[in-house]
Amino acid sequence: MITAKIIDLKKSILFQAATVEKMIGKAIKGLVEKNRKLLNEVIEEDEELVNKYDISIDEKCVALLALYHPEAKDLRTVITISKMGIDLERIGDSAVNIAESALYLISKPAVKPFKTLPKLADETIKMLDGSINAFVNEDAESAIEICRSDYIVNEMRDQIIRELITYMATDPHAIERSIHLIRISDNLERVADLSTNIAEDTVYIATGKIIKHSSYDDI
């Protein structure tokens, strides 16, 4: 019985993961294509769906712990999925933040580093997708590689911010637009960090090892 319940729980977390990944993609596509409809969908419809998943997953985890008293790997799985639900809900929040800033930007002239953002978004989505696939397959090695790749997103975000600071110094009229681009960059970097959390939790499920706060090169 507990096996069937855990399978159902995994299906729920995968639905939530697919939704937030789609939200990030829609928010960036809406920005690049200046598609107000996509951006409003992220803010007005998708966020509510993610929040419903979050509540449902939390309730299922509590019920599993209370009724079935899982042990060993089953216990690790339930606890980890509960944490993943929180991380995925936060990714949904980041998608909304991106969409809100995008709604401001699409009616304004683009600033120079704008072209770099889709590359940052692609790398971020790659990390999120990779962390979810590692979870599905309980693939600790792939999960560790996701953790090791986090620096790529950090460096890209830092590059965008440096370019924007220079741009704001030379053109004060671009300050507000640049601040929104920095907000989008920061939220993408946040999604990458949360994807790393999911990858770390996957390692915990698969091996029982806690690698949080560890040097990934030493694992």
Q: What is the pLDDT of residue 217?
A: 64
* 3-state DSSP assignment of residue 30: helix
Would you tell me which CATH number, out of the four given (3.40.50.300, 1.20.58.220, 1.10.150.120, 1.10.10.10), belongs to the domain 2-218? 1.20.58.220
Per-residue pLDDT at 179: 96
DSSP letters, 84-100, are HHHHHHHHHHHHHHHHH
Structure letter (DSSP) for residue 216: G
> Which residue, 118, 145, 151, 117, is CA-closest to 203?
145
Sorting pLDDT into bands at 50, 70 and 90, what band is 218? low
Tell me what the mean pLDDT of segment 36-42 comes to.
97
Identify the residue whose tokens are 């299906």.
11
Among 11-15, 70-74, 210-214, which is the least confidently predicted range? 210-214
Residue with structure tokens 């993961």? 17
Report residue 3 as tokens.
Answer: 């096996």
DSSP letter string, 159-180: HHHHHHHHHHHH-GGGHHHHHH
Convert the pLDDT of each residue in 142-197 to its tens digit: 999 999 999 999 999 999 999 999 989 999 999 999 999 999 999 999 999 999 99
C-alpha–C-alpha distance, residues 179 and 163, integer Å: 12
pLDDT of residue 130: 97
Structure tokens at 17: 């993961």
**H or E stretch covering 142:** helix 140-148
Side-chain half-sphere exposure of 105, counting CA atoms within 13 A: 32
pTM value is 0.93
**Do residues 78 and 70 lie in contact, with contact meaning Cβ atoms separated by under 8 Å?**
yes
Residues 6+ apart with CB under 8 A from 207: 140
Are the CB atoms for 9 and 64 separated by under 8 Å? yes
Token readout for 150 is 């986090």
Euclidean distance between CA atoms 27 and 33, whole angstroms: 10
pLDDT score recorded for residue 116: 82
Task: Judge residue 185's burial from the number of C-beta atoms within 10 Å of its C-beta, 0-12 exposed, 13-18 middle, 19 or more buried.
Answer: buried
pLDDT of residue 143: 96
Kind and range of the H or E run holding 191: helix 175-207
Could you report the per-residue pLDDT of 58-116, keeping only the tens digit for each?
Answer: 999 999 999 999 999 999 999 999 999 999 999 999 999 999 999 999 999 888 656 78
